[in-house]
Structures are given as C-alpha cells and as structure tokens.
C-alpha cells in the first residue's frame, strides 16, 4: 500500500512539471491527444542507454495522462521527484516563486543514476506496483507486463512543438508582475556563490541555462519548469488567471495557435540604444581604415527590435556587440568566425545578409529576387550599409564623438528611394513577337507591372533602403545591366536560338518563359494558365 501511494505521488509530480511549461504561456488547455493519435505530452524513457544498448524498446510515457489520473488523488510533484535540498544559490526574490519545491530532481524517484540494475528496478518496482494498486482499488490502470510498456510499435506519436518566449509573451508577464523583472532575471556571482539581480542587464534565460545541467546551473528545461510552474500554480491557488499546467498546454500545436498575440507591444526597458555604429574592434583611424578597408556601418537598432520577436535573433550568445566575439581575425569566443563572415554569410540567418535574404522570399519581393543568383552581394550594394563617416571624425581625435548620435546622423543621411521613374519614362507596353509564326504577338503590360512591383514594396523599409536608385526595381528583369531609364532589350544578351558559346544565358524563348512564369509562380499569381493565356491563337487568313 505504501508503494502504491508513493506511485500516486509520482504521477502528481509529473503533473506539476508539465504545469510549468503550460502556465508560462497563458492559454487554454485542450486534450493532449488529437484524432490522428498524436500527443504533445510524450516522454521517451530511454535512460538505460547511458549504460549501453537497450534490451527492450524504449517506453513511450504519456505525461498528461498520468497527471490527469493522479490529480484526482490530490498528489503533487514530490510523488515521483525527490528533493535535492539545494537552494543556497536561490535569491530572496525567487524563493517566493519556488517555495515548496525544494528543487525537485528531474529524475524519477532518484537523485543519481547509480547503475543499470538500480535504475531499472526504480521504474519496475514503482510503476508496476502503482498500476497493481490502482487496479486493486478499482481504478483504470496501466500495464503490469513488459510488453505493455516496451512496445516495438507505439500506438501514439509525438506532436510536441518546442516553445519560445517572444516579445508578446514577455510583455504579458511584465504587465502581470508589475515590472518586477528580478522575479525571473538573475546572474551568478561566482565569488559569493549566489544569484543576484543586475538591473538593466537582463538577458534571455538561454544565455546561461543550456540544454543540459552543468553543476548549479540547471538546464533550460528544468529552470523553466522549476520557476514557471510554481509561479503559475500559486496564481491559480489565489484564484487568479494563469496559464496551462500540462504538457499539451504549451507544446500541442493547436494550443500554441491559441496564444494571444499583443499587437502594440511597448519597447523593452533596458536602456538599449536606438542606433549604433557597428564596430570592427579597431579604432576608427586612417591606419585602421586601411586594415578594415570598408566604411563604418550605422545600424538602426530600434527598427530591428520592432521587426523581430526576440533579441536572440541577432544576439545569439549574449547581449554584447557582435565584434566582442566575432573579431576581424577570428577568435575562440566566436568559434573562429570572423566579423566579415558573421555579417555577410548569406546561408546563415543570423548574419545580416542571411536575414535580409530570408526577407526576400516574401511573395512581394520574390518575383525579382528568386531568379537572382544567391551568394555574395554585388560590390555596388556595399555602400547601402558601409558609409564614410562625416569629415572631421574619420581620424578620431582627443574628443570622442557621441557614437549613438553619429549613428543616427548617418542613418538619416542615407538616401531612400520612394518611387521609380516617371510614367513617361516607362514604356506602357512591350510587344514580344518572336513566336508570330505560331501565335499572335504578345503585348506585355510593362508599365502596369513596374507600378505594381513598386506598390507592393512601398511600405517596406528594407526595400526602400536597398532600392537606392529609381531603376533598381527594373533590375528584377533587366538583371545583368546597369541601372538606366533605357536598359538593353532581353535579346541583346539572350540569343535566338540558344548560343552554345554563352551557356549561362538561355535562349530568348527560354529566358522569357523562365523569367515570366517563374515570377508569376513565386508571387502566387493565377496567370498564366496554359500557353494561350499569354499567346493568343493566331487567326487563319
């Protein structure tokens, strides 16, 4: 009987652990299982892998299912998770939020993995005994034979999605806790061996709490459950509104879709700059400029905050300047990745160009950008970011300039294209008559296309910055010619027929079809639907 009660307490622990994730996000909880047999609360028990190969298939454990069953017994997390009694590093501001938990071990009914047999016995003795006891009490229970848990083909599959803490969710917590940031944010004083709150130095939890526990620095998963679940449970105990307390509350796709998004989110209060000069790690002197070769980069920090959900989009390791880790010559702190690559590598979304390249996939941009060969940006685009400092500041001096004010001045001086050429400079129609032997000539609504492209990006600040010339939008089609009111015709480069001596330039017929139909596809336009959508059947004479 004693073991049976202990087992009931175990399930209750699992409930509380799940509660942490759920309560953080403030959404209604639906059933963990959908009609397709997938669940968000699956935990694969495969701990014996640390001792070698598994003798039987891993166990698919349904966390919420056990939680719901044992909740009726008024049990808590201590049923399954033992207390580590290790709270000397918890600051006073956090103790209220975690009281009563005593830092429960994430392991089931143990603090350490002593050995293969010992761990196996912990699960077999407790789980099977609990199932037997519940069945004896007339309750629905789980299996008591090996094949009941260790199944070659589990009946359910995981639908669990990882959760994040975006600006909207952060603001809701800031508002609910009346800006008491110290409840969650803390740093570790290695000398005093305790946590403390560093005002205006708050960073994401993931900067310190990694995937696995390292000494007193617990894992991100454990930190989230320990801190958040108890706080939300306390709120529920006070009859206040709080988030879900089960796995599915946060990790089920349908519940994530229900998370309320705040439309107008106030800016985070951390005294972060509105604009900065992206530093290279060297002083901006004439000597150093010969080393770096490129002008300085004024960066609109505020607008990038508004366009992204969290700071880790750029500050992926810490809230420091990029050049602290990514130096000109590469450093261990930045995994040897030089500053130039960190900013320009188009294949990495954390780089500037990589992030901008992702934005080009928007259907309003992709019509022009999709056909363009991916890789380094053309040299002519460098001055969109790299700018010369105003005269008098290039060589430094005794008095250091206000870099924030200087960044704003440079940003404000950057030319922005708001439109393209005047209508009279844009041909209204272009006649394409290369297939007149089979079809009527095609009248391309040239001006309409140009004006539509400009209209689609008129509110896109990123496009405005990089479409610096009135004819930049024209280069989506006239892709290998300089900006001009009268760019060369397509036939000037694309031969008729295909020129084998120019393998990188398709024939004129292929060029038209590839460019026009490719643009329509990525921009999700309905037309063309078959040849005669563009090429009208030629009338017999």
Domains of the chain: 2-256 (3.90.10.10), 275-413 (3.90.10.10), 423-533 (3.90.10.10)
Q: How far is CA 259 from CA 40, 239, 256, 306, 308, in A?
A: 16, 21, 5, 20, 18
Strands, E, within 138-229: which ranges? Answer: 157-158, 187-189, 194-196
Strands 194-196 and 187-189 come out as antiparallel
User: Whole-structure pTM over 0.95, yes or no?
Assistant: no
pLDDT above 80: residue 7: no
pLDDT above 80: residue 35: no
Task: Provide, rounded to the nearest whole percent, the portion of the chain with pLDDT above 90.
Answer: 31
Between CA 224 and CA 17 the distance in angstroms is 9
Largest Cα span, the chain: 100
**The dihedral sign for the CA sequence 297, 300, 304, 310:** positive
pLDDT of 24:
32
> Which of the given ranges, 72-86, 282-296, 455-469, has the highest pLDDT on average?
455-469
* Between 19 and 196, residue with greater pLDDT: 196
Q: What is the mean pLDDT of residues 155-163?
A: 90
**Residues facing residue 297 across a β-bridge:** 278
Helices 63-71 and 2-25: crossing angle in degrees, nearest 10, is: 110
Is the distance from CB of 104 to CB of 13 less than 8 angstroms? yes
Query: Does the bond joining 528 to the residue before it have cis omega, within 30 degrees of 0?
Result: yes
pLDDT of 290:
53
Question: Could you read off the pLDDT of 519-533 as tens digits, one per residue?
Answer: 999 999 887 778 888
**SS3 (DSSP) at 214:** strand
Q: Which two tokens stand for residue 296?
A: 């300085």
pLDDT of 30:
39
Which residues contact residue 30 at a Cβ distance below 8 angstroms, ignoring those fewer than 6 apart? Answer: 248, 252, 254, 255
Cα 56 to chain centroid, rounded: 37
pLDDT of 13:
40
Buried b (16+ CB within 10 A) or exposed e, 123-140: beebbbbbbbbbeeeeee
3-state helix, strand, coil in the chain (%, to 5): 40, 10, 50
Q: How far is CA 197 from CA 90, 165, 183, 184, 201, in A?
A: 11, 20, 9, 9, 9
The label of the residue with tokens 């803390």 reads 186
Question: Minimum mean pLDDT among 17-31, 456-470, 504-518: which range?
Answer: 17-31
Q: Which two tokens stand for residue 431?
A: 């006649």
pLDDT of 379:
57
Q: How far is CA 211 from CA 108, 220, 221, 224, in A?
A: 19, 6, 7, 12
Between CA 365 and CA 360 the distance in angstroms is 5
**SS3 (DSSP) at 430:** strand
Question: Minimum mean pLDDT among 200-204, 221-225, 276-280, 514-518: which range?
Answer: 276-280
pLDDT of 225:
81
Phi, psi (deg, nearest 5) at residue 296: -75, 160
DSSP assignment letter at 226:
I
To the nearest whole number, what is the mean pLDDT of the chain?
82
């Amino acid at each position: 009987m004693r073991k049976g009660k202990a087992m009931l307490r175990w399930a209750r622990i699992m409930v509380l652990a799940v509660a942490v994730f759920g309560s953080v996000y403030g959404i209604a909880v639906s059933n963990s299982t959908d009609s397709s047999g997938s669940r968000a609360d699956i935990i694969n028990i495969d701990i014996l892998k640390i001792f070698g190969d598994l003798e039987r298939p891993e166990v698919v454990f349904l966390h919420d299912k056990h939680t719901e069953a044992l909740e009726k017994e008024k049990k808590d997390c201590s049923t399954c998770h033992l207390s580590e009694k290790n709270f000397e590093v918890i600051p006073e501001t956090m103790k209220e939020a975690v009281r009563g938990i005593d830092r429960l071990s994430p392991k089931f009914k143990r603090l350490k993995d002593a050995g293969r047999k010992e761990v196996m016995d912990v699960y077999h003795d407790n789980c099977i005994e609990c199932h037997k006891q519940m069945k004896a009490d007339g309750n629905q229970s789980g299996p008591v034979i090996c094949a009941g848990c260790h199944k070659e083909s589990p009946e359910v599959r995981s639908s669990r999605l990882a959760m994040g803490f975006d600006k909207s969710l952060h603001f809701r917590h800031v508002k609910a806790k009346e800006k008491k940031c110290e409840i969650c944010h803390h740093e570790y004083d290695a000398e005093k061996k305790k946590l403390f709150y560093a005002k205006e130095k708050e960073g994401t939890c993931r900067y310190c709490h990694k995937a696995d526990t390292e000494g007193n620095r617990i894992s991100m998963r454990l930190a989230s459950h320990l801190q958040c679940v108890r706080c939300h449970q306390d709120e529920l105990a006070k009859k206040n509104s709080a988030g879900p307390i089960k796995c599915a509350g946060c990790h089920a796709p349908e519940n994530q879709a229900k998370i309320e998004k705040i439309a107008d989110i106030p800016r985070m209060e951390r005294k972060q700059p509105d604009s900065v000069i992206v530093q290279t790690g060297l002083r901006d002197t004439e000597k150093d400029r010969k080393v770096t070769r490129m002008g300085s980069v004024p960066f609109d920090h505020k607008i990038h905050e508004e366009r992204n959900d969290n700071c880790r989009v750029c500050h992926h390791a810490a809230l420091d300047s990029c050049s602290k880790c990514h130096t000109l010559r590469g450093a261990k702190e930045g995994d040897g990745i030089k500053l130039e690559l960190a900013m320009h590598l188009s294949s990495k979304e954390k780089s500037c160009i990589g992030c901008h390249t992702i934005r080009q996939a928007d259907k309003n941009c992709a019509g022009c950008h999709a056909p363009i060969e991916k890789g380094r940006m053309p040299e002519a685009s460098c001055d969109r970011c790299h700018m010369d400092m105003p005269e008098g500041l290039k060589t430094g001096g005794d008095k250091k300039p206000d870099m924030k004010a200087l960044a704003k001045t440079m940003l404000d001086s950057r030319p922005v294209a708001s439109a393209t050429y005047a209508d009279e400079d844009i041909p209204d129609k272009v006649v394409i008559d290369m297939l007149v032997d089979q079809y009527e000539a095609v009248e391309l609504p040239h001006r309409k296309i140009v004006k539509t492209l400009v209209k689609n990006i008129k509110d896109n600040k990123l496009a405005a910055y990089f479409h610096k010339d009135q004819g930049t939008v024209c280069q989506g089609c006239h892709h290998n010619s300089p900006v001009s009111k009268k760019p060369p015709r397509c036939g000037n480069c694309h031969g008729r027929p295909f020129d084998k001596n120019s393998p990188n330039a398709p024939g004129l017929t292929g060029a038209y079809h590839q460019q026009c139909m490719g643009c329509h596809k990525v921009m999700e336009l309905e037309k063309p639907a078959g040849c005669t959508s563009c090429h009208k059947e030629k009338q017999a004479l």
